[in-house]
Structure 1
Amino acid sequence: MTFLGTGTSVGVPVIGCDCAVCLSDEPRNKRSRSSVVVRTGEVTVLVDSGPDLRQQALRENLREIDAVIYTHGHVDHVVGFDELRAFCWRRTEPLPLHATAGCMEVLQRMFGWAFFPEQQVAGYVRPDARWITGPFSYGDLRITPLPVEHASVETVGFLFGVEGKRSLAYLPDVKRIPEATLELLRGVDVLVVDALRSAPHPTHFSLGDALATAAETGAAEVWLTHLSHEYDARSCGLEIPDNVRLAWDGLTVSL
């Protein structure tokens, strides 16, 4: 899994901000909007299509994908939708897009032109809309949706598994995790979780929330994502366990 972006909705640096992190020349303090790509050798799956997708794909030499799966319908996770046309150029079949009913409604409302089969034209986004109703697979990759609470919008994270490999859970936007989802997370090998800032936030995990969830799941390896400009990658300055680290754009986690 490669982190295409690890920032919050405004990214880092923040427009008009002169804090030490925003003015830093440390590459790990440059955070584009949160997204990841999961590769198994058999398949490549993109999670979300945020506003920075073009730059992220160029940076990581991402040329082909087999599907896009969406966590939710907020702008910072969907508004790069039109960049998906570059991935449709290399396909003869429409590109599968997996989303919850609520998220798919947002996509169809925002990008309605793409969802009319009679208007699908070579060179543009040609989606194959698929609603998330339970676990599904691509090649050797098993994907289990993880329902969470985040503001008032229907939101899911994802649990990724390949036979004989470590499991990984990705939860970039979360305020509360229902017990049924916690049960699926217990014993996960790698946890990637929202940790927007140190102070409480009305719709996101704080650092304390993320650390508590990490401890409850028992994950051996934890990466914090969806990070604000409060976090300085050069010297975190925070009391966190040794198995917990700040993710950065371009980081690859091997399973």
Structure 2
Amino acid sequence: MKITFLGTGTSQGIPVIGSKHPVCLSKNPKDKRLRVSVMVEWDDYNYIIDCGPDFRQQMLANQVTKIDGILFTHEHSDHTAGIDDIRPFFFRQGDIPVFAHERVINSIKTRFDYIFSDVNRYPGAPAVEINIVENNVPFKIGNTKAIPIDAEHNRIQVFGYRIQDFAYLTDVKRIASEEIEKIKGVKVLVINALRLDPHHSHFNLEEALAFIKEVKPDKAYLTHISHHLGFHDELEKQLPKNVHLAYDNLSLYI
């Protein structure tokens, strides 16, 4: 299995527009982060988790020519706003399978009604195949299955996903013990770590490291990172040996 980090930034990305923060002014490519998304490949399958506003740029940067589906964690724009850019894939492949909580599907339907409507359909609009995700109900993707992991993003429910020995969670602030059990035994865990200071709806670095210590993956990668977490190279040196900062276009193999 190959994992590619398409984006590792928070909702505004790094650099933030107009910001003079030192991290936003950094010349290090690893300090420049598009909105968070990851691509998971195995055998001949290629799935995306989240489809934010930088989706087109991410697909071009990684020379992606086919996707077998998109798994959504939740409905916020930095995770869904790129759905119109599935058009080239739709024109080549037909309806693109999407997997999400029913609430998330309804939100996307409202914002991108032309994608879902059969009435007076615009010829250039993409189309999707809807798959509703329910907690505790694993679902088929390609020749394997994805296991939903239920968590809380302040007051919003979010799904993480476990695919074989890989688990991906973002925008998590709280997670129940029974959901943590679903993750244990993974080789690679990806978890959000927004910044150093506490935040009302995201793990900060301390919380993310405590979560990793509880799950005990072979390796863990931090994502959904804001400029307030600090410079990539400086922070990487301070992390435990099995924990790393993810960065855009990083690929790893399981």
Tell me if both proteins adopt one fold, taking TM over 0.5 as the criterion: yes
User: What's 1:164 paired with?
Assistant: none
**Contact 1:168–1:189 (Cα < 8 Å) also in 2:** yes
Give the direction of change, closer, same or farther, for the CA distance of 1:68–1:119 in structure 2 (3 Å limit).
Answer: farther
Q: How many percent of aligned residue pairs carry the same amino acid?
A: 38
Aligned partners of 1:216 and 1:117: how far apart in 2? 47
Letter in 2 for 1:147: D
Structure 1: runs of 5 or more not aligned: 162-166
Larger deviation, residues 48-57 vs 130-139: 130-139
Taking the aligned partners of 1:237 and 1:76, their CA distance within structure 2 comes to: 25
1:78-115 Cα shifts (integer Å, max 9, x gaps): 11111111210111x31111110111111111111111
Equivalent position SS for 1:169: strand
What is the CA–CA distance in structure 2 between the aligned matches of 1:191 and 1:113, rounded to whole Å?
36
Shift of 1:191: 0.6
TM-score under structure 2 length normalisation = 0.94
What is the CA deviation profile of residues 34-67 of structure 1, one whole-angstrom value per residue up to 9, with x for unaligned ones? 0011111221111111000011111000121011
Which of 176, 179, 188 lines up with 2:177 in the alignment? 179
Measure the CA separation in 1 of the matches of 2:207 and 2:55. Answer: 28
1:98 aligns with 2:99: yes
Partner of 1:243: 242
Of 215-224 and 113-122, the range deviating more from structure 2: 113-122
Does structure 2 retain, via aligned residues, the 8 Å contact 1:220–1:243?
A: yes
In the alignment, does 2:134 pair up with 1:136? Answer: no
Matching residue of 1:89? 91
Shift of 1:186: 1.6
1:63 to 42, 62, 65: 65
RMSD after superposition: 1.4
Once the two structures are overlaid, the 10-residue window that deviates more, 178-187 or 217-226, is 178-187
SS of structure 2 residue aligned to 1:253: strand
What is the CA-CA distance between 1:15 and the residue it aligns to? 1.3
Q: TM-score, normalised by structure 1?
A: 0.94
What is the letter of the counterpart of residue 156 of structure 1? Answer: F
Secondary structure (helix, strand or coil) at the match of 1:4 reads strand
Secondary structure of the corresponding residue to residue 108 of structure 2: helix
Correspondence for 1:188? 186
Q: 1:124 deviation in Å? A: 2.2
Q: Contact 2:152–2:172 (CA<8 Å) still a contact in 1? A: yes
More displaced 10-residue stretch of structure 1: 140-149 or 196-205: 140-149
Displacement of 1:121 in angstroms is 5.1
Aligned match of 2:112: 111
Gaps (5+ residues) in structure 2? none
1:6 and 1:31 in contact (8 A); partners too: yes
Instruction: Report the CA distance between 1:180 and its aligned residue.
Output: 1.4
2:48 — aligned with what? 46
Distance 1:219 1:142 in 2: 20
